[in-house]
Amino acid sequence: MQPKRMPSPQYLIAHACFECRKSFKVAPRPDDSTVCPNCGSSLHQMGRSFKAPAARDKEQWAKVQALYNAGFRFFSYRSVDGPPLPARLSDVEAFIRDNPAHPLRVAVPNNSFKPKPLRGSA
Ligand SMILES: [Zn+2]
């Protein structure tokens, strides 16, 4: 085990915990193994332009999670060419269907959204 190095502030990226409905600015790790300091669940890297909804706003968090699961990440609109992300959870399904090649859709969709099994563990 190598000791953890303190990350430089400019490399902090918004990560979200869908359990707590909170976002944390943390340094991205290549193995995506960051965990929520609040509950210990996996944190999900959302992108530099992610703005966390209020924790009580379950609809907006569900929307964000649905977009995340579909492979969308949150980067500046100025750098991409495409329709803006939907404002409402009820619009997400149609948006995803209508924008299969949206420039913000950078990750492989994850429909199961289950924690990855740990390799080598019984
Ligand atoms: Zn959490």
Q: Which DSSP string corresponds to 10-65? A: GG-EEEEETTTTEEEEE---TT---B-TTT-PBPEE--TT--PPPTT-HHHHHHHH
Q: Tell how far the Cα of 38 is from the centroid of ligand 1, in angstroms.
A: 5
pLDDT of 121 reads 45
pTM value > 0.95: no
Low-confidence ranges of the chain (pLDDT < 50): 114-116, 121-122
Selection from 111, 105, 116 nearest residue 47 by Cα: 105
Q: Tell how far the Cα of 3 is from the centroid of ligand 1, in angstroms.
A: 24
Q: Which residues pair with 14 in a beta bridge?
A: 25
Compute the distance between CA of residue 54 and CA of residue 6 in angstroms, rounded to an integer. 28
- Ion ligand 1 residue ranges (Cβ < 5 Å): 17, 19-20, 36, 38-39, 41
Q: Tell how far the Cα of 42 is from the centroid of ligand 1, in angstroms.
A: 8
In the DSSP assignment, the letter for residue 78 is G
